[in-house]
Amino acid sequence: MSLPPQNVLEDVFGYPEFRGQQQSIIEATLAGRDSLVIMPTGGGKSLCYQIPAMLREGTGLVVSPLIALMQDQVMALRELGIEAEFLNSSQSPDERREVMSKLRQGRLQLLYVAPERLVTEHTRSLLRDIPLSVIAIDEAHCVSQWGHDFRSDYLGLGDLGRLFPGVPRMAVTATATDKTREEIVARLELNEPERYVAPFDRPNIAYAVQVKTDARGQLLKFLQTHRNEAGIVYCLSRKKTESIASWLCGQGFDALPYHAGLAAEVRTENQRRFLAEDGLVIVATIAFGMGIDKPDVRFVAHLDLPKSIESYYQETGRAGRDGEPADAWMVYGLQDVVRLRQMLDESQASDEYKRYEGFKLDALLGWCEVTGCRRRPLLAYFGDSQDEDCGNCDGCLTPAKTWDGAEAAQKLLSAVYRSGQRFGAAHLVDVLLGKETDKVLQHGHDQLSVFGIGKDLPATTWRSVARQLIVAGHLRADAARFGALVLTETSRGVLRGETPLLFRKDPTRPVMASRKSATARVVADEDQGLWEALRACRQTLANEHNVPAYVIFHDKTLQEMLAFRPQTASEMLGISGVGQTKLDRYGEQFLSVLRDEALSQEHRRGT
């Protein structure tokens, strides 16, 4: 092995230090071990396989499900002076032949391949002839049949270990609950993998959820804090993405729609513009986003409820990948829930799957209704518990009005217990309300001591109590028992009245602390001129090189230039995000902007 990973990080990527577990992951791979890497979006997963690919002999193979993602990564790698190519259906046969010939000549450090291509005998025999340094399987959760992104081609990746013995494999994903994690290891047949689970927290993202009252008005108010910034607005239907986009244009925003029903050219063009421009809003269905690597997305807004906490976290994770402040904002209404349930009922999926998805939707709804810090239960859902409130969510900044729910919780838990922990929320609510339904009579539940003890609250409140108890972990919906609610270890404390419980009240008057736009928060007034000059320089270079502005330098890198004002090439190398290749390509242009500024300052001081 020639160089230590640290040198590659500094010289090629221009970063002073590894983040989180990057270094151990890279070392395990260099030592030839398989690994499972779970990191939130923006955590820095790609470096974990890119650096071993550069340090081990042979070509690094990256399996990636999305063409847009491949193109983006390959473009960024080339800007760093790394030899990278992809093989996918967007290329002509001639283009593909050229890539293959480079591959055979050993000229590629990284090759990105779509899974459907990798399962073909043709590609496999090609790859068998060349040395591979590492095999990275990106978006590895796509192998999970329970997940929302299942791709059957991923099931064919299990035999890569046998086909390429001795090549370390790395499964990489941003979404995985315990169950999915083990499914990935099993189906990809990883060999005693090292497991790396990074903290899921994205502290720079501020979470806020409101009940939908006047969705457009609410959105407009929210967007006032994000003028001229890039962001994504998610809607459930295709039609709605178009109407919201054109309405936003009427309100003075640059907005474009994106959904699977648009012509391919329009889709490509809208996505290209979103990536390339600084302040565009894309209004999209969930068809948009997977594989969007844009680091400076300043907000993700949901006008409709996503279908699970997993989806929500993945979608909002597209904001603030550069680590700068960003907003995840959502409005939700009960109508959303009804519609999502309908879509689920009408789908062709198995009953078991529908039930499973139904619980996930309930968990999300419960999360919408939490009082207090929103981040803690969100992270707890992914098994990542935090001891302190975050101070960067609506729950922390503008606490909701609450009511003491201890007694209601006791009634509901008693109903669960007395009916034998075999029934779902709807039936239990009937029992509490004293309704003599067929089911109630059939099971003799009108004879229970809890029958009718909940008449003081309406059914909607009872359902909300059930959801909030599930989210707080005092009740569990058992998938294996048709959604029956069962008690948990902590239920006892609630039943005994030892656990204080506050439930959300009056969720229709949420307030959002008004904040300055993300950029305004970091650039001081007197620096505004230089900031704009640096951005203009970046845009010019981006146009010349035909790449998005952030591929030249991230905002964060420009901010460091603003703070440290490097005047020489070696000072410039000290800026995070400036490596040798980028210094050679762009250093001089930015230095000249910075020197001009220094000169005019002296001038101002002199006169």
Residue 78 binds ligand ADP (CB under 6 A):
no
CB of 198 to ligand ADP, least distance (A): 9
Among residues 194 and 362, whose Cβ is nearest to ligand ADP?
194
How far from chain centre, in Å, is Cα 403?
Answer: 33
- Cα distance between residue 607 and residue 385, in whole Å: 59
Sign of the dihedral through C-alpha 17, 18, 24, 26:
negative
Run of H or E including 302: strand 299-302
Residue 226 interacting partner from Zn ion, ligand ADP, none (CB closer than 5 to 8 Å by kind): none
Among residues 62 and 188, whose Cβ is nearest to ligand ADP?
62
Among residues 39 and 552, whose Cβ is nearest to ligand ADP?
39
Q: Give the distance between the most distant pair of CA atoms in the chain.
A: 94
Residue 390 interacting partner from Zn ion, ligand ADP, none (CB closer than 5 to 8 Å by kind): Zn ion
Among residues 58 and 199, whose Cβ is nearest to Zn ion?
199
Residue 115 binds ligand ADP (CB under 6 A):
no
How far from chain centre, in Å, is Cα 58?
Answer: 32
- Cα distance between residue 367 and residue 381, in whole Å: 10
Give me 464's structure tokens: 């909300």
Give yes or no for a contact between 1 and 160, defined as CB atoms under 8 angstroms apart.
no
Q: Residue 47 is which amino acid?
A: L
Among residues 46 and 144, whose Cβ is nearest to ligand ADP?
46
* Count of residues in the chain: 607
Residue 19 binds ligand ADP (CB under 6 A):
yes
- Tell me which stretch binds ligand ADP (CB under 6 A): 16-24, 106-114, 371-379, 499-507: 16-24
User: Cβ neighbours of residue 468 under 8 Å, at least 6 residues apart?
Assistant: 366, 369, 370, 405, 503, 504
Residue 257 interacting partner from ligand ADP, Zn ion, none (CB closer than 5 to 8 Å by kind): none
Give me 4's structure tokens: 């230590």
Site for ligand ADP in 287-326 (CB under 6 A): 293, 295, 321
Among residues 147 and 295, whose Cβ is nearest to ligand ADP?
295
Give me 580's structure tokens: 């040798």
Binding mask 26-45 for ligand ADP (x = CB under 6 A): -------------x-xxxxx
| Three-class secondary structure of residue 564 per DSSP | helix
- Tell me which stretch binds ligand ADP (CB under 6 A): 11-19, 61-69, 300-308, 395-403: 11-19
Give me 170's structure tokens: 């790395």
Q: Which of 21, 35, 46, 468 binds ligand ADP (CB under 6 A)?
A: 46
Q: Are strands 281-284 and 231-234 parallel, antiparallel or unpaired?
A: parallel
Residue 18 binds ligand ADP (CB under 6 A):
yes
CB of 15 to ligand ADP, least distance (A): 4
Residue 467 interacting partner from ligand ADP, Zn ion, none (CB closer than 5 to 8 Å by kind): none
Residue 454 binds ligand ADP (CB under 6 A):
no
Residue 375 interacting partner from ligand ADP, Zn ion, none (CB closer than 5 to 8 Å by kind): Zn ion
Give yes or no for a contact between 320 and 294, defined as CB atoms under 8 angstroms apart.
no
Burial code of 172-209, b = ≥16 C-beta within 10 A, e = fewer? bbbbbbeebbebbbebbebeebbebbbebbbebbbbbb
Extract the runs of DSSP E, i.e. beta strands, from 464-522.
475-478, 484-487, 502-504
CB of 293 to ligand ADP, least distance (A): 6
Query: What residues make contact with ligand ADP under the rule CB under 6 A?
Result: 15, 18-19, 22, 39, 41-47, 293, 295, 321
